Structure 1
């Protein structure tokens, strides 16, 4: 088992089947374009958890600074392949981000989770000791 950064187009593309289980509103081309743009403009990092050469889980995150949290890492995406869930893969990736954040001088790790994802909420609160601190609101703007 190994965690590797996905930097090249073919690596990013290889993670799509796993990421698509979380971000199923994106097609493969849109996903690749958004990852590349986020990496270029927003310091987004994408890592895969590999068993052999097979990606079983992915995590995307970016360092941020806000007045509310100070210096922190925002976890944008975390998903394990459906047939590899509840095996500790999410815990391994999130723990990796905790270590990365600490080594890079960040003080916190934060994330949001969809209201319907109750199993994920239990994982974050009970297994990973995250605390529920806010609601996230969004508004779709007309183009």
Structure 2
């Protein structure tokens, strides 16, 4: 499996269709705008995993600091193409994230949020050694 960090407009264009399987609300323009702001302001990285020339999975992450965990790798986005699910690729992406966190000296480990309704995702994370430690609250304004 080839791994490639988004660096060019062409990379982003090739990653967009798969990301919309996870983020169905995104228009291409909104995707580009959000990516550029997150990359510039938070060093957000979007990484594609390829089989031959086809993007089969993506992970988007950034390094955060807080008083609870210190420096940690936060996973914003993780998607595996429906065509290759249940083949261990998601687990390999989580291993990639762990290695990346070590390289980036994230002594606070890794963190992500999964929607309460995302029962399949929650089972996947638990199966891969992740523990639910908090509820995330949101309030729209």
* TM category, shorter: over 0.9
Deviation at 1:136, TM superposition (A): 0.4
User: Is 2:105 aligned against 1:85?
Assistant: no
* Offset of residue 137 of structure 1: 0.8
Offset, 1:65: 0.6
Q: Secondary structure at the match of 1:20?
A: helix
SS at match of 2:74: strand
Question: 2:46 matched to which residue of 1?
Answer: 46
Q: State the distance in 1 between where 2:135 and 2:26 align.
A: 24
Under a length normalisation based on structure 2, what TM-score does the superposition of the two structures give? 0.95
> Any unmatched runs of 5+ in structure 2?
none
Contact 1:65/1:71 (8 A) holds in 2: yes
Q: Which stretches of structure 1, 4 residues or longer, exceed 2 Å deviation after superposition?
A: none
Cα deviation digits, residues 54-82 of structure 1 (max 9, x gap): 10000000001100111100000000111
Q: Is the 8 A contact 1:64 1:74 kept in 2?
A: yes
- For 1:113, the equivalent position in structure 2 comes to 114
TM-score by length of 1: 0.94
Q: CA deviation at 1:53?
A: 1.2
Partner SS for 1:77: strand
- Counterpart CA distance in 2 for 1:20 and 1:72 is 26
